Amino acid sequence: MTDNGNLGPNMPHTDNQQIVLVALSGPSSSGKSTTAKALHKLFEGSKVVHLDDFYFPDDKIPVDPTTNEQNWDCSDAIDFEKFTDYIRGLKLDNKLTTQIDSLEPEADLQLTDDEINHFTHVINSYSHKLKDKIIVLVDGFMLFHDDRISSLFDISLFFHAKYETLKSRRESRAGYNTEGGFWVDPPGYFSRLVWPEYMKSHKHLFENEDVNLQLNSHAKDKLKLNEIQNEDLSLHDLINLSLIIILDRLE
């Protein structure tokens, strides 16, 4: 089991250790954050970075000109320069950098002891691949919209589901912690802003630019995205699928 997780300036790290950046991305409510937090608890010594911790301050979030609502789901809401510099520092300098104070709530790992023991056994069976490696899990709703960012990751997992599934999950949430307080979606916010922004920023990854179709060759072959369709997967299944992908792709 790991510590509580954010990267810090004095984390133990030696020159012969390799940082492996694992991206978990996809639309809001696709299961990526839950999976990232669970994997962080299972991978000993792992660290986690949340894109949500790089939002601009609340008063700097863009206002959509059509709806006159703050748009938390567009690229201009995120300080991508700061985020990219941070990830590049991890990737190119191979070091753990400045601490980011996270707004993300702690994970409640809803697994039985038998499940935890099972996944720990699976991870331990790949100890030869994990030796001298630090797994850094990067969780965010917009990690593959720009190839310059996508190319920084060693392993990339793309979670998605159908519109109605995502809408139902998003609308069942109480809200989100922000730098300035707490955000609650106005009624209809998913349909007006969340889904349209997802389509706009991710259509280039899909056949015929239709997010309801399959990932295209650019996404699969160039960006090497590993697809996880999460209509009704359990946490056990999400972890299992993600572990298989991550462990198999470790060099």
Residue numbers annotated as active site: 52
Distance between CA 53 and CA 79 in Å, rounded? 9
CA atoms within 13 A on the CB side of 80: 15
Going by the DSSP 8-state scheme, the letter that residue 158 receives in this structure is: E
Task: Specify whether the CB–CB gap between 158 and 219 falls below 8 A.
Answer: yes
Helical H runs in the chain? 32-42, 80-93, 113-124, 127-130, 147-150, 163-171, 189, 195-202, 217, 235-249
Phi-psi region of 185 (alpha: psi -120 to 50; beta: other; left: phi over 0): beta
